Structure 1
């Protein structure tokens, strides 16, 4: 059981695996490949455990993306420029 107390959420590993597999299928449909790197620029919530700092300005974001050789970036419409 995964528990996120600050959000009062719990996930079973079965549900977590289902969500991960669903995301992987979606990324493959977008022409990402196995072992591709991508940045996740979203709010820090249980659904995305590792993210890019939302406070980054353009040059900081560019550095972050180039440092890890990202193939793409996933972001919400609330942070889209």
Structure 2
């Protein structure tokens, strides 16, 4: 049973190999006993998101009220630091 669940938001688009790669790399980081929730948001479904993220996707956030964790490629160090800040 997982200790706790961390939440991520991944701004992505269909047919984006970098987006698929980032999601797979994020899921591979899950330590034993730690579950992830990942909301994958298709930027092409909302013109405002296209305007904001267009060429930056994939873009990964932990908390949406904090700066992005990374874009284009997973920054494992940034994700680990985010996970360390989460309550147990």
Q: TM-score, normalised by structure 1?
A: 0.28
Q: TM-score, normalised by structure 2?
A: 0.26
Q: Is the strand fraction higher in 1 or 2?
A: 2
Q: Which has the larger radius of gyration?
A: 1
